[in-house]
Chains A and B, each alone.
Chain A
Amino acid sequence: MTAEPGGAAGGPGAATVRVRIDRETCLSSQTCVRHLPEVFEIDDEGVAAVLPAVRDADVVDLVEAARGCPVGAIEVLGEDGQPLDID
């Protein structure tokens, strides 16, 4: 598991992934927080941030959270650094 600006992740049965939040794009819809409150929070600048518990999160949940963001501010990156998407 690696750390990346925005947080680190892994999950049972998953390859190493990283979760990145584009803080310039985030508009604090709190969709990610509603979906995974253990993984995402709103910080003192008013935008989303990734919590340490991300390393216990399931990759499928993380990808769903990324998909659910109404402004596309969340990326889940695979080991190759490319955005992950799961069918």
Chain B
Amino acid sequence: MSSEYSFDLFNPDETQNMWGLMDEMRTKCPVARTAQGIYYTARFEETERVFKDGKRFSCEGGFRAPGIDIPPDERLMAEIDPPVHPKLRRFLLRSFNPGMAQRAEPFTRDYVRSLFAAVDSKGSGDLVAEVATPIPSAVTGHVLGVDVADIADLSKHLFDLLHTDWPAYGVFDNTKPDERIGIEGSAPELAAHLDGMIADRRSGAVETDDLISQMIEAEVDGERLSDERIRSLAVNFLTAGLSTTNLIGNMIYRLMTDESLDATLRESPELIPAAIEESLRFDPPVLFLFRTAKEETELAGVTLDKGDRIAMGIASANRDATVYDDADEFRIRPDDPEHLAFGAGAHLCLGNHMARMEGRVVVEEYLDRYDFGAMSLAKDYELHLMPHFLEYGPERLDVVVAR
């Protein structure tokens, strides 16, 4: 372990540009300490192990910067441990499963088409703001019970959240880092909208069987869920969809800039799911996730103390040459082991079926609608990534559409 492998985990300029450092770490320092003193696992083996070992590694503290504490009911699913986590997850699995993704596909396809049509009618647009961001918001919103007419506004509030320090600090104004004001402060319009939906369903003003209503009716371990919990879960699901925004942005960018990939998928659309998986491996929407050691433990020969925080290096693990041949090459590889972009273990992304379906539908519709080059990046376009330390996806995709 050495300080030459140290980096600033909360700085996107570093976390989004450290592929060379990751290569070095995997061979020379597989468990290295970041500038914050957090242990980063660079190899597939240790990364997967930490994900799967709920006995040794706790989720509490989650995405928060060191020292930040938030009320239990505001916690994201990835921040909750047993005994509460398995009970909530079991309840939510009834909604987040392959059948639900299948049932949401027609809505998704229609919505994707309408978004592409809107860009076409203008002849240009920013695909991240106008396509990649609203799609997961709309599909998750559809399940939650958000009116599709409200999705554009909500998408914007969700998108803005990624330009703050949330969830690390829960602040809205980066110049006042001492004001830890949670989701209400970080995204007041979003919070208000969800509060309104919850209140309407509680009062009976709106009667539906959407997921918000189900969360109101649910008894988890004999208890009802509080309004704060319901709102936090809704925010959890909606903001998690922003990771799907990265998947969609990464995939469309690749299709527009890699003519041979485009040709392969046009000729063999049955390879689209495998291409999505390779995108998730190679350009993981979420670069790493957090755990805390519950007891003294050892990883790759490094001793961690109880209470030490770990960043599970998803992006680095996904490039592990001991797992993937030609790990630094993007190629469709249906027989290789699955990546860690959705994590692993008991907290495996609940939305994985939805995200995979959305990615596939977007690619199918894009290929169906546009020949290669019919939609292309604007002449002076430069790729910049979403400026958030956890995220990996384009901030904008300015395109022009040939008429």
Contacts and interface: CB of A to CB of B under 8 A. Distances in A.
The answer to whether A and B belong to the same complex is yes
A45 interface: yes
B344 A31 contact: yes
Give the secondary structure class of A's interface: loop
A34 B343 CA distance: 12
Given A34-B338, A45-B93, A46-B93, A29 B98 contact: no
B252 to A, nearest CB: 26
Contacts, number: 52
A28 B94 contact: no
A87 interface: no
Interface string B90-122: 101111111100000000000000000000000
A42 interface: yes
Give chain B's interface residue range (CB within 8 Å of chain A).
Answer: 20 to 34
Contact of A28 (B52, B99, B348): B348
Interface in B40-58: 52-54
A30 B338 CA distance: 11
Given A30-B352, A31-B52, A70-B345, A47 B93 contact: yes
Given A42-B98, A70-B54, A28 B345 contact: no
A47 B91 CA distance: 11
Interface string B330-353: 000000011000001110101011
Contact of A46 (B54, B94, B338): B94
A27 B98 contact: no
Nearest to B96: A46
Contacts of A34: 337-338
Interface of B: 52-54, 86, 89-90, 92-99, 337-338, 344-346, 348, 350, 352-353
What 7 A-B pairs have minimum CB-CB distances, sorted nearest first?
A46-B93, A46-B97, A44-B99, A70-B52, A70-B345, A27-B346, A34-B338
29 contacts: A27-B86, A27-B90, A27-B93, A27-B346, A28-B97, A28-B348, A29-B52, A29-B344, A29-B348, A31-B52, A31-B344, A31-B345, A41-B98, A42-B97, A43-B98, A43-B99, A44-B97, A44-B99, A45-B93, A45-B97, A46-B92, A46-B94, A46-B95, A46-B97, A70-B52, A70-B53, A70-B54, A70-B344, A70-B346
